[in-house]
Structure 1
Amino acid sequence: MTTNDQPPPPCAGLRIGDAVPNFTARSTTGDVDLSDYRGRWLMLFSHPADFTPVCTTEFVELAKVAHEFEARDCAMMALSVDSLFSHFAWLRMIRERFGVEVRFPIVEDPTLVIGRAYGMVAPGDNDSATVRTTFFIDPDGIIRAMTCYPASIGRSVGEMLRILDALQAVDSGPLLAPANWQPGEKLLKQPSVDLDSVYAAKSASDWFLEEAPGASK
């Protein structure tokens, strides 16, 4: 496993708007190079360990909706400290128990090189037992959204899709996605920063809280 770009300091804490560090590594679908994913969306997510209950339920659900991410031109890539052969054994168990095949790559990170470069683990940690982080990366390799859950709580696959839908929807113009937004619902306009527009608005709230006509996905 190697990193092609100079990574930030350990546990640097990548933020929304940062360019992601590139890396190459072994995965369940062969060697992966993060730069190969430029030009499309990517959801990169870590899990504490193979053969753990919460992670198993997450991967079963993600495998079931993998076609939904593909329909949105979004690749998926998982990562944990476990070895490649542990990944293989776990995926075989998942298929035998649940009847689904996990086809997106799962990267091995036994030395925590990638986890530390992405700020997923603290510098002194020897394992990633507390890691359940998700990065939504746009086609230019920029982090557009992040979530972080404790090891004891599984992620909502529906919310993962909703975040992706919202990110892609607001990219169609200077738009905003309101609370609980779902595809097909109205988006909001960006608020005005011109005083004349503020005074000319039909109501006291129209200048900053107004639906965008026809703007939905």
Structure 2
Amino acid sequence: MVKLLTEPYLNQVSNWPKTGRHILAQFDENTVVVYQAYRPAIGLFAAEHGYFGGEFSLNRMSWIKPNFLWMMYRSGWGTKSGQEVTLAVRILRSAFDEILASAVYSKFVPEVYGSEKVWRQAVKSSDVRLQWDPDHHPSGAKLERRAIQLGLRGNVLASYAREWIVDIEDISAFVHQQRQGSHLELLTPSETVYPVIDPDLCQRLGLSISQ
């Protein structure tokens, strides 16, 4: 049994925005769950020790995803090579907010940065990258709604790997179990739209107003 709060997918999907850019996540007052998928040497070490170490590299960018189904699409429900171990990493909500506030698009967005020079300077000064990708149905079909992923490096990655973690859970068995069935019986982690209060940050992140 996973520690994550789960619900039938069909109960949740009707409450999720159909279009736009939204951060779907499981969160409470103090924590947020993000997902990563690794090869066993890294994933099993993290789940056992409660932090990222061993073969985990602090010298390359590491991407976190607060949306479970986007992680499932990316990892092929844990079947892709090097992504066999799915981790639910519960981190401090204050840290997640700090990550969002530091995020810089991985590609130049004129309406946010004005010029490529300004964007390049922002990239150099930030340890967090932001990407919006199409979200996906459990079958893998592309949706109109966009899902966020955040790339961490440098000091932010070092803090994430140890200081900001509240709990790491290996949910690979749960993923395998859910992969076997129909989406009509699918259980997924309970997720709702994560609130970002600061209007300037909402604009910078390109967030849509929740319906």
TM-score class, shorter-chain normalisation, is under 0.3
**Whose helix fraction is larger, Structure 1's or Structure 2's?**
2
Larger Rg: 1
> TM-score, normalized by length of structure 2?
0.26
> TM-score, normalized by length of structure 1?
0.26
**Whose strand fraction is larger, Structure 1's or Structure 2's?**
2
